[in-house]
Structure 1
Amino acid sequence: MSGSKKIVCIGEILWDKFGEGKVAGGAPFNVAKNLKLLGENVELISSVGNDESGEELLSVFKQSGFSDRYVQSNEGLATSEVSVVGNGDFISYKIHEPVAWDDLQLTADNIQLVEEAEALIFGSLLARQDVSKNTLFQFLESASKAQKIFDINLRAPHYSKENIEGLLYYADLVKLNEDELEILIKWFHLSSDPETALKQLEEEFNCPTVCLTRGANGAILRYEGSAYFHKGYRVQVKDAVGSGDAFLAAMVSGLLSEKTPMETLNFACALGALTATKVGANAQFTKDEVQAILNTQIHITSHSK
């Protein structure tokens, strides 16, 4: 990876709480950290509370190799904590509100960062309250030269059809999972066939790249009018938290480095599978570990539409 393209992730940084333990998380942070481990030039725009929990979170953030220049300190709202329940593929989240990242402010620094970005990664959770929602849409308007990457990341009850539809119209790449696709199928009257539904999303929202993750069953990628399939890698799952974020980081890294769509999908499925074999959304990994997954049997087919 050259690391030459500037990537900006926007959204929540928080503590994922597992019983008595906790780890730094939030999809935007998870994606950013994986991108950094892949050698990419990435920054995160977020907010924490001006409290002990926020100081601790910022310490972990900086230990991961990030500058805290674009992470705001909120005087009135607490640092976000999310209760994570379940294991394996069955996980639920209790996300409290309002928290610091619900009050993300526009600043000269973060607007300039977004204007210079070549890729902008965002999710739907940041749009649940008006202040951060308005900031996010201003970022999307300001990012004139960036590829806009929408990780739908629906977390009930923190989303609405109106917000998702508005964000979809900005997206150059959309990533979603099977449960999220079922919701979009009902909202937008799409086909019940996943591949056809992805094509309809591509056409309806003028989005050239749409990717569906399917857990242990791999993924489907629609890229510039063609469909690519991966059946997934068979691994022993320890913790599925963060696998989708690792997948997206690998997808973005691959496409920005001009790997072919097939190479990118293979790489993304491998990193997602590797992450599921580790505990925690932000477990460290090495290129040798990813390569070991890549060296197992590969199942990729593609066809044009």
Structure 2
Amino acid sequence: MMSKVVTFGEIMLRLKPEGYLRFFQNDKMEATFGGGEANVAVSLANFGVDTVFVTKLPDNDIGEAAIRGLRYFGVDTSMITRGGDRIGIYFLEAGASQRASKVVYDRAGSSIATASAGDFSWDEIFSGAEWFHFTGITPALGGELPKICGQACREAKKQGLMVSCDLNFRKKLWTSQEAERVMGELMGYVDVCIANEEDAEKVFGIRAEGTDVTGGKLDHDGYVSVARQLRERFGFKYVAITLRTSISASDNKWAAMLSTESDVYFSKQYDVHIVDRVGGGDSFGAGLIYGLKSGMDNGTALEFAVAASCLKHSVEGDFNRVSTEEVMALVAGDGSGRVQR
């Protein structure tokens, strides 16, 4: 088993109407758990990686259920701090065809949002670890979390860990100006920057020329330029950008690029019919971490990440419930969906 990966962020209670029903179209809600860094931890655990998820949860039955949900997949929860008043909640309405999905947050005052720097002993947390992953969602929750993320990043670099960050800009949590100020200070510790078509523009004002996300137009040369500007500004070893062409809420084209100091790689593109796209970016990040950690060459690591995320779009819930073998089969070209007997 490879040395461990540590992820840090918020795990939330996810409440969703059945199927494609709208909010409160009937009186039932599916209750599961999810959240950016928790999703990455579960994916990596499914790939056989020793994974530690760090957060703060209330010391009540709901917090305990979230921990049990992580343990089910083999995620190490021993570094989770207990305390605070509540778990964050998000409501998801699944879109279909031309009707977009919707997310409503109810996470203000959650245990992790009200955490203090003294809640986490990063020197102990990182003992025996090789990699640290967080996203832009965590500092966006405010309070002391920007400071806590900075402490985590400094200790990670002190102990020689690789650090990855998915920019994950959330306009419902903070403004572009706040994001640029906070994330700009953290990026100096990051080795692997992960972003989507809009993140670099929303957070750092770096726009892909010739691209119209809402109109479904993506220009590869524009993203090569974005990745180069990000690397030059912050010194990243890798910049990965997911490339989603959104035909409708039900059908997307899905691909990604990976940029290093000397090379640029573009993955194959998948036509994806979506069951659940929430967590798609997280499954990409986990796949990329796994690929780079396990010694794959850069191009293969990118293909593994895109294939893992492609499969996630077929899985209900935040968590990507697929194995390394299933991902490698898709990388090798078996995307027929034929019954495996």
TM-score (norm 2): 0.80
Query: AA paired with 1:138?
Result: Q
Task: Report the equivalent of 1:153.
Answer: 168
Task: Report the equivalent of 1:178.
Answer: 197
Give the structure with the higher percent helix.
1
| Corresponding residue SS for 1:17 | strand
What's the CA shift for 1:165?
A: 1.3
Provide the C-alpha distance between the structure 2 equivalents of 1:180 and 1:14, rounded to a whole number of angstroms.
22
Query: AA paired with 2:15?
Result: K
| Corresponding residue SS for 2:224 | helix
Provide the C-alpha distance between the structure 2 equivalents of 1:118 and 1:286, rounded to a whole number of angstroms.
22
Task: Report the equivalent of 2:217.
Answer: none
1:1-305 equivalences in 2 (<5 Å): 3-19=1-17, 20-74=29-83, 76-87=84-95, 90-95=100-105, 96-105=107-116, 106-107=118-119, 109-114=121-126, 116-128=128-140, 129-143=142-156, 144=158, 145-159=160-174, 160=178, 161-184=180-203, 187-189=204-206, 192=209, 193-215=222-244, 216-296=253-333
Provide the C-alpha distance between the structure 1 equivalents of 2:334 and 2:225, rounded to a whole number of angstroms.
27
Residue by residue over 1:125-148, the C-alpha shift from the partner in whole angstroms, topping out at 9 and shown as x without a partner, is: 221313222111111111121111
Residue by residue over 1:5-37, the C-alpha shift from the partner in whole angstroms, topping out at 9 and shown as x without a partner, is: 221001111112213112210011100010011
Task: Report the equivalent of 1:302.
Answer: none
Provide the C-alpha distance between the structure 1 equivalents of 2:88 and 2:208, rounded to a whole number of angstroms.
37
What's the CA shift for 1:109?
A: 4.5
Provide the C-alpha distance between the structure 2 equivalents of 1:58 and 1:266, rounded to a whole number of angstroms.
31
Provide the C-alpha distance between the structure 1 equivalents of 2:191 and 2:96, rounded to a whole number of angstroms.
31
What's the CA shift for 1:190?
A: 5.1
Provide the C-alpha distance between the structure 2 equivalents of 1:122 and 1:52, rounded to a whole number of angstroms.
26
What's the CA shift for 1:195?
A: 1.3
Residue by residue over 1:52-82, the C-alpha shift from the partner in whole angstroms, topping out at 9 and shown as x without a partner, is: 32122122122222333111111x3201111
Structure 1 residue ranges without an equivalent (≥5): 299-305
What's the CA shift for 1:294?
A: 1.7
Query: AA paired with 1:294?
Result: V
What's the CA shift for 1:152?
A: 0.9
Structure 2 residue ranges without an equivalent (≥5): 18-28, 210-221, 245-252, 336-341
TM-score (norm 1): 0.89
What's the CA shift for 1:107?
A: 4.8
- Which is further off, 135-144 or 92-101? 92-101
Mark the structure with the bigger radius of gyration. Answer: 2
Provide the C-alpha distance between the structure 2 equivalents of 1:283 and 1:68, rounded to a whole number of angstroms.
18
| Corresponding residue SS for 2:75 | coil
| Corresponding residue SS for 2:113 | helix
| Corresponding residue SS for 2:295 | coil
What's the CA shift for 1:262?
A: 0.6
Aligned length: 293
Residue by residue over 1:226-262, the C-alpha shift from the partner in whole angstroms, topping out at 9 and shown as x without a partner, is: 1100132223321111111111111001111121011
Q: CA RMSD in A?
A: 2.1
Q: Is residue 11–residue 88 contact of structure 2 (8 Å, CA) maintained in 1?
A: yes
Residue by residue over 1:64-123, the C-alpha shift from the partner in whole angstroms, topping out at 9 and shown as x without a partner, is: 22333111111x320111112333694443222121111334357443122543111011
Query: AA paired with 2:5?
Result: I
